[in-house]
Structure 1
Amino acid sequence: MASVIPCGPCLYDETHQNARQWCTSCEEGLCDECEKTHKKTKTSRDHKLISIDDYRKIEDVAITFICSDHDKKLEWFCKSHDKALCVVCLPTEHRSCSDVIPIDVAATNARQSIAISDLQEAIGVTLRNIRLCVNSRNTTTKDIEKQEKDIRKIIRNTRTKINSHLDELEEKLMETLVSASKTCKSKCQKFLQQFHSHEEKLRKLKDQVLQIKEFASDVQVFLGTRQIDKLVMSEIESIKTATDSIYDYKFNMILNSDVQKLSNGVVKNFGEIQVAEHDSNLDIKELKIEQAQMQQNVQTASNVADIELQLITKVNIKNERHLLITGCAILPNGHLLVANKTKNKNILEYSEEGNFIGGIEVSADPFDITVLDLDRIAITYGVNRFFEIFNYRNGRVEKRIETGGSCWGLSQSNGKIYVKLDQVEVFDITGKKLCTLAAEGEFYTSASKNNIFCSHFLNGTVCCYDMNGQEVWKFHDDSLEHPYGLANDRSGNVFVIGRKSRNLILIQHSGKTYKNLLNLEGDFPSAVCYNKDKNTVLVCDQYGGDCALYRVLYK
């Protein structure tokens, strides 16, 4: 039985009446008498009233009206930063913002805003993506079973042609096949469970969006849209991470050539079960949720001549003492990380507005950083000959990986970590080494889905390699002297720091043309990173003299 909701004004008078209506503006219930008074009062006659039954439909939707930083009521909205503010936020963090308006004004027509429509569309598209992944895993499971059946037939047909002394070898091979099949299907089942979990969460969020759109106040809709937006984006990021790690499987039976020589009894095994993992190439639909007050740029494979940078903020790194910046990263929440290689064993963290937040203590002097997911980063430690998988939310090292040599720049792509030693070592997301690629360069590397990019500080070139370590193209131009830090966007265009030429250039994904994006004012520009979701690029100088965050505009 649903709990009784009391009348707010009566409760204030220390009497108890059950509410019949709910005021979405006052956030309290009203009995029949208080409802009449509410409608007669000038200040409240325009308030929206809904039935208690309708209120119960949105009662459990978590919408926060209180500032999480200052514990004050959210009363203002900054259009530039797309952020709700309290009376303390306004003078302390948004004093210079010219487009701060009352939240009631910002919430006008929130029910018909682009933001809530985009949120509904994002949930719908993501649910369809999950269904695509689920169908893919079901199809792959059936295909595995069919391949298993086909190989069983091959094994048995071959078995009838040979002597009985191979019984034991046959049994061993069958066990290998069953184990491989079970392992592959187990992986599929694991992802199925994960996708079903995401599907359930998103369906709940979808229902919540429909309910707040139908019954909540404008302010509730406005704030609820943004808060549920964050939850949806978290689910989308988790799904993208999962889809980068799923594979289809190809089983193959390799028949031992010695099977034809059974009479001499020298055959040591019946055959071999091989399982090849290859990308499923799922057509996952990308959808960026547009905010009502902010337009975001969607990246296309534009010609670099049409790409420009727009300054977002200067980062006040130079105020810190003992600086030697060698790497940087942009977290999913927009915070900026800077690797400060100065024997103080910490990474500096800044807000998206460029304000210093604090230092993150790590195991040694960090050289470079890359973001793995919503909670974790990877950190290299140069001459210390190891890198770590580090949970920045709880400050704990999840795994330390010894590299056997000095490890410098690193990058993450498709669920794999690429670490620059003499060549490029490839690890999976858990830190297990997969292979070594013959991709040469001095310090920095960056990875896309299909290519590895390395800068050659000494000979002034930037090279692109495929995933087998074969050179695809080599770039050299007098405008780029001593190429250093580099990063790539989704299209495979490469941002490169010119340490001596003191500039940032963008090389076309073909390697045949480029554009000079920035002339840098710092003495020793060193590091650059690119956030593929926000289309932002962070550029850092070794001593903090010219560090800034830019938006990449794709025309």
Structure 2
Amino acid sequence: MASNFESSIHRGCDFIHDYSCSPCEENGYNTEAQHYCTQCTKHYCQDCVSKHNGLYQKHALLSRKDVEKWEAAPGVVDALERCEMHPGEALKLVCCDHDQLCCSVCVAVEHRQCPKIYPIPDGKGIQRSIEFQQVPKKMAELQKQLEKMKEARMKNTMSLKKTRAAISDEIKTIGKKINEILDKIEKTVFKDLDGMIAKLENNIMRDIETCDTMTIKLQNMIAAFQTKAKSSESKSYIAYRKSHNMILQADEHVRGISTIECYNVTFQANNLIEELLSSMKTFGAIEEQTVMTKQRKDPNSDPNHVISVSEYKKYNVKMSDDEYQCEIFGICEMPTGDFVLADGKNCELKLLDKDYRELDHYDVPEIPWDVCHIEGNEVAVCVCNNAYRKGLYFINAAKGDFVTTRKLSFDHDCIAAAHHGGQLYISSGTALYVYTMTGQKVKMLYEDKSDSRTVRKCAISNDGKKIYITNNIGDQLITVDSIGTKLAQLTDPDMKKPTGVQVTPAGHVFVCCLGSDIVMQVDKDGKKKLATLARERDGVYGPHGLFFSSRTSSLIVGGVKCTLLVIRLI
């Protein structure tokens, strides 16, 4: 039992405490402090505090319920030097790989694989530097800006309340108008109903009057026929003729009235009104509008402005259980800032956090030739086995829960994919196809069957009017419009076996080249090279995957040698 206990509190474990027991820490163990002694200025766990109390019975102790007082007590790490992640620990180290200040717990838990961990420098001469002296001024200016922003937001809150009242009045007016229309329709219907009932009642009264009149006439004729018809032949003849005419007249009325059994009225409701109203969920669209602050024109907003590089950083993405050296074929970024890499050599997806550290991985049945983000946590992975599978795997790439949600199969190879405007752009190696999200082919946008890999990867401009295609075998960048018409064909001595291509929201176009180990920028029309941004000496090794992150304004390049190169742009 003792060995188990020691292994659970050893400093090498991953338990993180806001305050660690001072005696335990001195002996190489990591246990959580439950008490603080104001005289000793040390923290104690439950076991160590009993020994302390036996030696120092008059010392004042602060328990966990007074933990807020620990921070103000002597001996506790100063707030400026305190680690934000582990408040009981002092910042003593710097991770140059992630450009972060660290405490000992940070290094043990989060940066254990980082090779460039150094003590915090003494900062000699920093107080005389201009940057150091300008810090209070800059913070004061930011404080004023924040106060102004707060005031503006307070005013914004009042204006929203007024907007709410105005829109409410407008909605009530619409409701009142609709009710007035319904009342008018109701009155019209009742008017028609009353008119129809009155008409039928008149018909009934007329039939009743006819029956009464004919009944009286028949009664009188019967009386006359019985008393006078036999008095003489001539009177009998007259009685017979009048009675016969009376019978014919009465019979005609009986037949006319008996053809109508009764009068009735029915109502057939117009269900279209109810269906139309029930299908409407609102009187109109309530839209959120964000008014952006006018900014000075940024030269980087010009798609032909030559982009500069501020730094290159290389990250090793080989995982402990990878069988082979990594070969990154595709890269995409998630809404969380995490990255998904398609490792073709190890047949897996790698999930990295925003600092490019390993979070998880997922084995893919076939070689993943490319990966692109769809929406939310969903990515689409291109798989292509000439004998069996040719299509896309849609995968939910949440940490610890990689799930294949659906699949699409094609009758051609599938070596690259892009998602734009709710449609999929699929490269077969010699053609570029457009598909719906359900897998229905829309059209073949472009084809070049002169050789294999004439259509390697593609990128679509933000407005969808230009599609850039890398011709890997022909050392070319092809630009076509949205209907497939070729607009440009770029060749350049440095453009050898181009693979990945990316377009920024501002329209900057970047290409990586497998044959020349470079990353270049080309103009928005795809007609000329503007600059070379990175070479082999900067960390470009056999590049396949290229991705632009708007979040960090960086180009992420993946290739061989298990290296991910991050190029910071300015």
State the 1:328 CA deviation: 1.6
TM-score, length-scaled by structure 1:
0.52
State the 1:417 CA deviation: 5.6
Change in CA separation of 1:514 and 1:123 when aligned onto 2, cut-off 3 Å? farther
State the 1:387 CA deviation: 2.8
Alignment match of 2:116 (pick from 76, 90, 96) = 96
**Distance in 2 of aligned mates of 1:435 and 1:119:** 52
Change in CA separation of 1:65 and 1:482 when aligned onto 2, cut-off 3 Å? closer
**Distance in 2 of aligned mates of 1:171 and 1:520:** 70
Partner residue in 1 for 2:3: none
Change in CA separation of 1:516 and 1:365 when aligned onto 2, cut-off 3 Å? same
Change in CA separation of 1:336 and 1:533 when aligned onto 2, cut-off 3 Å? same
**Distance in 1 of aligned mates of 2:485 and 2:153:** 37
Does residue 1:327 correspond to 2:330, yes or no?
Answer: yes
**Distance in 2 of aligned mates of 1:357 and 1:18:** 39
What are the within-5 Å matches in structure 2 for residues 349-388 of structure 1?
349-350=351-352, 359-362=361-364, 364-372=366-374, 375-382=377-384, 383-388=389-394
State the 1:116 CA deviation: 7.9
Alignment match of 1:399 (pick from 400, 405, 426) = 405
Alignment match of 2:478 (pick from 443, 458, 462) = 462
Partner residue in 1 for 2:547: 529
State the 1:453 CA deviation: 2.5
Q: Is the 8 A contact 1:530 1:536 kept in 2?
A: yes
Which segment drifts farther, 78-87 or 491-500? Answer: 78-87
Q: Is the 8 A contact 1:125 1:287 kept in 2?
A: no
**Distance in 1 of aligned mates of 2:407 and 2:141:** 46
Q: Structure 1: where are the runs of 5+ without partners? A: 1-6, 29-37, 49-62, 161-166, 193-247, 249-279, 289-297
**Distance in 1 of aligned mates of 2:523 and 2:148:** 33
Change in CA separation of 1:475 and 1:76 when aligned onto 2, cut-off 3 Å? farther
What are the within-5 Å matches in structure 2 for residues 466-545 of structure 1?
466=482, 469=483, 471=485, 473-479=487-493, 480-518=495-533, 520-521=535-536, 524-541=542-559, 543-544=560-561
- C-alpha deviations, 1:262-304, integer Å up to 9, x for none? xxxxxxxxxxxxxxxxxx9x5564899xxxxxxxxx8831454
Q: Is the 8 A contact 2:326 2:561 kept in 1?
A: yes
Does residue 1:66 correspond to 2:58, yes or no?
Answer: no
Partner residue in 1 for 2:13: none
Change in CA separation of 1:18 and 1:538 when aligned onto 2, cut-off 3 Å? closer
| Structure with larger Rg | 2
State the 1:520 CA deviation: 4.0
State the 1:425 CA deviation: 3.5
Larger RCO (alpha carbons 8 Å, 6+ apart): 1
**Distance in 1 of aligned mates of 2:378 and 2:351:** 14
- C-alpha deviations, 1:51-110, integer Å up to 9, x for none? xxxxxxxxxxxx96428xxxx73524749645342214458466636694699x99x979
Change in CA separation of 1:23 and 1:339 when aligned onto 2, cut-off 3 Å? closer
Code of the aligned partner of 1:96 = K
What are the within-5 Å matches in structure 2 for residues 203-218 of structure 1?
none
Q: Is the 8 A contact 2:461 2:507 kept in 1?
A: yes
Percent identity reads: 13
**Distance in 2 of aligned mates of 1:170 and 1:386:** 49
**Distance in 2 of aligned mates of 1:372 and 1:463:** 23
**Distance in 2 of aligned mates of 1:419 and 1:355:** 30
Partner residue in 2 for 1:348: 350
What are the within-5 Å matches in structure 2 for residues 41-80 of structure 1?
65-66=85-86, 73=89, 75-76=91-92, 78=94
Partner residue in 1 for 2:457: 444
Q: Is the 8 A contact 2:477 2:526 kept in 1?
A: no
State the 1:356 CA deviation: 5.5
**Distance in 2 of aligned mates of 1:123 and 1:487:** 39
- C-alpha deviations, 1:172-231, integer Å up to 9, x for none? 5x577546643xx4996xxx7xxxxxxxxxxxxxxxxxxxxxxxxxxxxxxxxxxxxxxx
**Distance in 2 of aligned mates of 1:527 and 1:171:** 58
State the 1:536 CA deviation: 0.9
State the 1:450 CA deviation: 0.9
Partner residue in 2 for 1:269: none
Change in CA separation of 1:285 and 1:413 when aligned onto 2, cut-off 3 Å? farther
What are the within-5 Å matches in structure 2 for residues 8-407 of structure 1?
26-27=70-71, 65-66=85-86, 73=89, 75-76=91-92, 78=94, 81=98, 83-90=100-107, 92=112, 96=116, 100=120, 112=139, 171=271, 177-178=276-277, 181-182=280-281, 185=282, 283=290, 285=292, 300-302=300-302, 304-316=304-316, 321=324, 323-331=326-334, 335-342=338-345, 344-350=346-352, 359-362=361-364, 364-372=366-374, 375-382=377-384, 383-397=389-403, 399-405=405-411, 406-407=413-414
Change in CA separation of 1:314 and 1:121 when aligned onto 2, cut-off 3 Å? farther
**Distance in 2 of aligned mates of 1:122 and 1:472:** 49
Q: Is the 8 A contact 2:470 2:501 kept in 1?
A: no
**Distance in 2 of aligned mates of 1:287 and 1:112:** 23
State the 1:424 CA deviation: 4.3
State the 1:500 CA deviation: 3.5
Q: How big is the alpha-carbon RMSD for the aligned residues of Structure 1 and Structure 2?
A: 5.9
**Distance in 1 of aligned mates of 2:283 and 2:94:** 49
Partner residue in 2 for 1:204: none
Change in CA separation of 1:311 and 1:22 when aligned onto 2, cut-off 3 Å? same
**Distance in 1 of aligned mates of 2:122 and 2:398:** 35
TM-score, length-scaled by structure 2:
0.51
**Distance in 2 of aligned mates of 1:372 and 1:436:** 18
Partner residue in 1 for 2:415: 408
Does residue 1:551 correspond to 2:568, yes or no?
Answer: yes
Partner residue in 2 for 1:32: none
Change in CA separation of 1:470 and 1:74 when aligned onto 2, cut-off 3 Å? farther
Q: Is the 8 A contact 1:385 1:402 kept in 2?
A: yes
> Does the residue aligned with 1:402 lie in a helix, a strand or coil?
strand
Q: Is the 8 A contact 1:308 1:517 kept in 2?
A: no
Change in CA separation of 1:115 and 1:546 when aligned onto 2, cut-off 3 Å? farther
**Distance in 2 of aligned mates of 1:363 and 1:125:** 55
**Distance in 2 of aligned mates of 1:372 and 1:141:** 41
Q: Structure 2: where are the runs of 5+ without partners? A: 1-34, 39-43, 189-266, 448-454
Which segment drifts farther, 521-530 or 116-125? Answer: 116-125
**Distance in 2 of aligned mates of 1:318 and 1:307:** 30
How many residues are paired up?
Answer: 393
